[in-house]
Structure 1
């Protein structure tokens, strides 16, 4: 066989393999009617072929009636074909279109998927780089499970008593008096919000939140029939006067969601006086406060103000904590602290949903806390994060000074960067992904477009952080040159 014949056979085999792969997914029911196929570029990279080979494979599938193209939208599994396979297929996309929980914002979904791509430089991810996990010291706590784990059945949803006591001791050191009976283990802060939404809030309630907030990237409140009302959030303060004005005319039940310490994504920490104002407003209008305080332990320069819940003597504040930011999300362990009646109600809800949080991570964290290894880990972690923060600030000063401004955060894991109007944030996000860098654009945290980007100094190695910022500068400069031409 000649060289040309050999290459031709490879091409033939390639498009047949691609067509067979897609057809197999459809016929097996894995890819349902209406599902969008991967892009031609993604398929070409997956099968290590050129795009013309992919196009040839797709054309064959179109002729067979398996797929169809929509101009400007992409290629989809066919739902209109008269072929037997298409007639009998369940269109799960249409079926679930009006489900209780719709799919995430398109960009949020894309980020969630790309955060799992280890080939990308993660410049926006909200978790610690794997090198920052305390492997050796935590392994010691894992080894204690051999002697501490003795419950092999279902529980009452309230969690392990030893873990709840350890969290009670942990909170006491941070100025919060919470007995074990006021603490409910959960699988992270997001589940805490879901339990509060399903178990406590009424349909039609107003959820007040800062105008830029992590909560805006979630459908959770809206799909449960709540209305989200944005509150102006300036440096170190949520606008208390604005909140009072709206609450005085709001006849629906209301709740305030606030991430008061190293706020995600702006990194701001609200002042002590502002915290007192919010407690007064809560008492005056009988408005519960959801205090999401998962970044508190990541202070770098000085210990932050006392939690809102430590100032509240009326039982209006529900405190959410988690080890996802200080340890690792894979542990899936956090807690809610609140009045006993609330914890009892949410514990009952846990029994209806999943019978409670796994005991294994609870027991491992119980030992890690009680042994003092967690506090030692925090000392070492703060030192490393302080170095990384200063390094990212240095890189920004060297490379982004002409295009952006920022404030140096006192804690957390992010820098909230404001780019000039000449930088198209959506285009920057897309271009950087193409260059192997992932950032979190600010528009996913707000109902309004903005020029911000959330950059993390914790989620990548120092060398990756340096390369990522250099690539960002190159992308911006290339865009600027294109505009000038």
Structure 2
């Protein structure tokens, strides 16, 4: 059957990460590929408890439609949690979404026409790039260093580029690099966005997973004109299977997201929202996050230690202060897509880095996740990966 699809489908490809995750379902594969939380840390017994309470107390409401904006008590609790990011908002500033990924898709739908320009970090989150590509924009990548996006390069681009519509950034434990922006860069970004009248989409799924150092204020903390759109999620701090995130924005901007959500899926799951709300009411999410951080820090330290011991000296990698990923750069003649095939022969998976650059290139990079494998498998996997790198060299 030869159907006539919309032209936008020509630019939509299968997510490299999601395709890799299919391979990693094999139990023998040691996976550093996905951004998966550690399943043994999911609060299964607590979720059983709160699920029963929700159904006992509000069963008919939990199974019924709800407002597009989300369950009001949960929105209030999310607004209160935004204080951790240095952002003072109310429930009226919160839209509950089906994961923060939905907020990315809505961003494209709201802001992008064909050939509009999206400014992003280089590299940037593959899931966001794929969400935006459905709306056929052009991408301009801004170089990054250990303090985040380089503002001098961004300013040059803004001065000389027409039709820029949105700036997309991940300032805390960036996916894929693991880097965190300095406070000075955050302030300067808002200053430039004000000057050029642009929205900033601040994607922050990892900010609460800090292992060391002080938590910097969100970019939205410095927002003086209501142009920063903050995307948050419970997927990395609670349970990704519930698919609950949020969009935090001001006034008319949030209204646009609400209108788009009405057309997309009417609302996020009522029962999932009530479950999260009940957990926040009955249990201590911050205490749960501390347990997550303790495990992830141990795994990060072990992965970086083993990489330092086993990888050839020509391989560079980042030291993230939190989050889920480290980023490695190999000699330029090494193509990590070929390396990934070789590593899979040894039952080790990772994500080749080229996919994180919307305009191509940089095929000598790779993203490694340390949150999902236990300590023994991390050591074995890194050693096997090191063997594969040495064979290619």
TM-score (structure 2 length as normaliser): 0.92
Matches within 5 A, 1:102-117: 102-104=11-13, 107-108=16-17, 110-117=19-26
Structure 1 unaligned segments of length 5 or more: list them.
1-89, 481-485
The residue matched to 1:126 in structure 2 has which SS?
coil
> Are 2:111 and 2:166, in contact at CA under 8 Å, matched by a contact in 1?
no
> Are 1:211 and 1:230, in contact at CA under 8 Å, matched by a contact in 2?
yes
1:108, distance to aligned residue in structure 2 (A):
4.5
1:341, distance to aligned residue in structure 2 (A):
1.8
Matches within 5 A, 1:3-22: none
State the match for 1:254 in structure 2.
165
1:467, distance to aligned residue in structure 2 (A):
1.6
Which of 1 and 2 has higher RCO (CA within 8 Å, sep 6+)? 2
Count of matched residue positions in the alignment of Structure 1 and Structure 2 = 389
Q: 1:205 to 1:149 in 2, by over 3 A?
A: farther
State the match for 2:380 in structure 1.
467
Matches within 5 A, 1:86-165: 90-91=1-2, 95-96=4-5, 98-100=7-9, 102-104=11-13, 107-108=16-17, 110-146=19-55, 147-151=57-61, 152-165=63-76
1:210, distance to aligned residue in structure 2 (A):
0.7
Q: 1:233 to 1:216 in 2, by over 3 A?
A: farther
The Cα RMSD (Å) is 2.2
Structure 2 unaligned segments of length 5 or more: list them.
none
> Are 1:295 and 1:325, in contact at CA under 8 Å, matched by a contact in 2?
yes
For each residue in 1:231-255, what CA deviation from the matched residue of structure 2 results, as whole angstroms up to 9, or x when unmatched? 1112213121222222233342421
1:168, distance to aligned residue in structure 2 (A):
0.8
The residue matched to 1:296 in structure 2 has which SS?
coil
Matches within 5 A, 1:194-209: 194-209=105-120
Matches within 5 A, 1:43-442: 90-91=1-2, 95-96=4-5, 98-100=7-9, 102-104=11-13, 107-108=16-17, 110-146=19-55, 147-151=57-61, 152-215=63-126, 218-421=129-332, 423-442=334-353
**Worse-superposed segment, 287-296 or 170-179:** 170-179
Distance in 2 between residues matched to 1:162 and 1:108, nearest whole Å: 35
The residue matched to 2:208 in structure 1 has which SS?
helix
For each residue in 1:439-466, what CA deviation from the matched residue of structure 2 results, as whole angstroms up to 9, or x when unmatched? 1111111122232211111011222212
1:421, distance to aligned residue in structure 2 (A):
4.0
